[in-house]
Chains A and B, each alone.
Chain A
């Protein structure tokens, strides 16, 4: 078995252990909420146990050793010998973090191991014992002694030996493998046929064995039967040679047996009949079963019975394969890319079939269109994960931080089953941590302040997720003091972000929080105010093509709403045309489309402004941004986009229409081009660039400013 390399499993183990550690955290927090939660204790124990067991299997001996101590302690907890208190909870959480660090293998401190173990043993009320290694005890190992021994073994198999699935023959064979072996069977106890119980064993054996192995190795052979049988092993002086042969265990490939073979096996037909039927089959194109029935060789029932058996064998084989698999996300990405290509090629096919109006071609083309759509949806679905995995991380965060801050804060989550793209979920982690930290630190007041304000002492942070059309809405709500409008405005004025006497709507004032370098916290605490501001959150969410909204009510709390696309791989776009080239504008940003004739353009008097529903909106021509030569169209069209609550008209030659498309990145070479976020390939093979609206907004602002100046 040397091909089996433990390394190939260590990655799997790491993944699994990380999942288990998350589980452990949940369990511990559940136990903290309700110390009588027996189920949680059991789950916790099991998770630790699995880490220990699998860890020792795949060479993570340190982890296994360490976990062993925790497991021992948890076992006592399970038996009610050790009480559940805060110390224990803290210790288990600490050891969980320690295991995490050990898994990483980078910077963990072995001293911490010792101190956690010592503290656990202290809890168990035990003096610190020298750490004996329980787990490396291996009953199967044979000591390697090179000296030749001769043994006489008497083995009297118990009558019920078959009932535990043991076959004594196999034990004898194993003895045979150990060296020269002579086996003498004693069947004198076998009763007469009418008294014979076929499920009982009546044999006993005398075995003369000449081997290099020690007496313990021989006992190991009988390890599974040892305590229920009459076994005597005596060492004999070496004298004569004994011999025995060992049957080879040959394993043939598993395949579905043919109907004919099964019928022969059941003695329903013979080889000759089957041969004739098979010959006939070549000329009449019927199933063997049908031919045999027609010829009256077998009955219909017999064939059905055999077919049933054949089915069971097939089922048995397929059930081996019905397991879930872990694949690296790299492979998935590749698959998604391929499907993207397929979608494009399919679109080409549809276009060709439409232009040729060939009935024979139209049908398969439509079929392929349907299948491709199905395929794309299922592939994208593979990447979908419930967001709950992220949510659970925050329970620990909230617990630890509220202790640190001396606040009583509870985290309520809902919609944990909401599914979204794995990448989005992963990239959401940091922004969410930041937002929750903010709520904990700035949002929720200390218990005393809350009490004085007539609120319950304990604060609540609600984290929820829900589907809304093609996007997922995540809200973080706290019932804290809310945002201080005046303070924010004052800060904004002092920073020169806004003129001192401006009247601003509430929403815009809150939005200052999302600006870079804006913090109203007086002091930098351990938890927030350390530079990574809300602007980072906002940027990250926008990179995910999402948006951040803030609402707040003074004294009642703050709600932050994140709206995110379900997946990053596909974009709902509006396809537009400039000078025969196609561009895609993300539909999520489009507010409306309108026609711009020269009259409207003239009205704006070269100030690049158009009137949209009574409001003036600046516009910019895509031709200008990208320096596309050629005259403006007589009638142009403008797409009004909204990004960060400011609006801009993007003027194009034509609007073609809605276009759902797979995003392709442009590669590193073009990463500095802010106006374009990616590209897609059209049905006709042309490339369409996907516009980055916020990038264009920035460019447009500069342009407009330039023209103003």
Chain B
């Protein structure tokens, strides 16, 4: 059974791009348009790829909330972000993110990172 990956991003084009890339790589995708939306759709998700800047609930808070749930304690979480600044990355890591990808990235880079953290 292929893995279910959630992409949380308020940008529809980003979501579509990520989801298309993942689907072509054989993953199943759940899309969420912000942190709140993402929390509601977590059930059954094997991995989370989240943007940091989102309305309602931002990525950092989403990571924090997801990590606080025992069933997602070990789920890989990747931050998708334009902030190349270290402070955001560190904030995300402290919240429990597994890693990050800096925009812009190429689809195969995304897949490479996913394969890095997901089996």
B13–A58 CB distance below 8 A: yes
Chain B 82-105 interface mask (CB, 8 Å, partner A; 1/0): 101000000001001111111111
Query: Please, which residues of chain A bring their CB within 8 A of the CB of B113?
Result: 140
| Of listed B11, B21, B41, B116, residue having the most chain A CB within 10 A | B11
Is residue B54 within 8 Å, beta carbon to beta carbon, of the partner chain? Answer: yes
Are A166 and B11 closer than 8 Å at their CB atoms?
no
The answer to whether A135 touches B84 (Cβ under 8 A) is yes
Name the interface residues of B43-62: CB closer than 8 Å to any CB of A: 43-44, 51, 53-55
- Sort chain B's interface into a size bin: 35 or more
- Give A320 to B32 CA distance when docked, in angstroms: 10
Contact of A162 among B25, B53, B54, B74 (CB under 8 A): B74
B20 interface neighbour in A4, A58, A249, Cβ under 8 Å: A4
Q: Find chain B residues with CB under 8 A from A174 CB.
A: 116
Q: Which of A52, A166, A199, A253 contacts B82 (CB 8 A)?
A: A52
Do residues A253 and B4 form an inter-chain contact, with CB atoms below 8 A? no
Interface residues on chain A, number (Cβ under 8 Å): 57
- Binary interface encoding of chain A residues 243-275 relative to chain B, with 1 for a CB under 8 A from any of its CBs, else 0: 000000101111101000000000000000000
CA A167 to CA B96, docked complex, whole Å: 14
Q: Do residues B11 and A251 form an inter-chain contact, with CB atoms below 8 A?
A: no
**A16 CB within 8 Å of chain B:** yes
- Residues of the B chain whose Cβ atoms lie less than 8 Å from the Cβ of A58: 13, 17
Restricting to A510-543, which residues have a CB under 8 Å from any CB of B?
none
Contact between chains at A319 and B41 (CB < 8 Å): yes
CA distance A54 to B109 in the complex (A): 16
The complex places the Cα of A205 from the Cα of B74 at a distance, in Å, of 21
B11 near A50: Cβ-Cβ < 8 Å:
yes
Q: A140-B105, A320-B28 are in contact. Are A224 and B98 (CB under 8 A)?
A: yes
Chain B residue numbers with a CB within 8 Å of A467 are none
Q: Which of A4, A52, A135, A171 contacts B21 (CB 8 A)?
A: A4
Chain A residues, CB < 8 A from B28: 254, 316-317, 320
A residues within 8 A CB of B76?
A: 165-167
Asked, given contacts A1-B21, A56-B103, A135-B84, whether A251 binds B3 with beta carbons under 8 Å apart, the answer is yes
- CB of B13 within 8 A of CB of A137, answer no
- Mask, A190-230, CB within 8 Å of B = 1, is 00000000010000000000000000000001011000000
Q: How far is the CB of A41 from chain B (nearest CB, A)?
A: 13
Residues of A within 8 A of B118 (CB): 170
Chain B residues within 8 Å of A53, by CB: 11, 14, 51, 53, 81-82, 103
Instruction: Give the docked Cα–Cα distance between A134 and B86 (Å).
Output: 13
Complex formed: what's the CA distance from A1 to B20 in Å? 10
Interface string of A322-343 (1 = CB under 8 A from B): 0100100000000000000000
In angstroms, Cα B29 to Cα A174, docked, is 24
Of chain A, the residue at the smallest CB distance from B73 is: A163
Mask: chain B, 1-42; 1 = CB below 8 Å from A; 0 = not: 111100000111110110011001111111100000000010
Chain B contacts for A323, CB-based, 8 A: 31
Within 8 A of B (CB), among A366-414: none
Q: Check B13–A223 contact: CB distance below 8 A.
A: no
Known: A1-B25, A9-B17, A319-B41. Is A164-B54 also a contact (CB below 8 A)? no
If A43-B55, A170-B117, A171-B116 touch, whether A165 touches B75 (CB-CB below 8 Å) is yes
Partner of A16, one of B11, B44, B102: B11
Say whether A293 faces chain B, with CB atoms less than 8 Å apart.
Answer: no
For this complex, 9 residue pairs linking A to B, each with C-beta atoms less than 8 Å apart, are A1-B21, A1-B108, A12-B13, A140-B109, A165-B96, A166-B99, A249-B115, A254-B28, A320-B30
5 new A-B pairs (CB below 8 Å) besides A46-B10, A57-B13, A164-B98? A4-B21, A53-B82, A137-B102, A139-B102, A170-B117
Report the 9 A-B pairs with minimum CB-CB distance, sorted nearest first: A224-B99, A316-B44, A165-B98, A1-B107, A165-B76, A251-B26, A56-B104, A13-B13, A53-B82
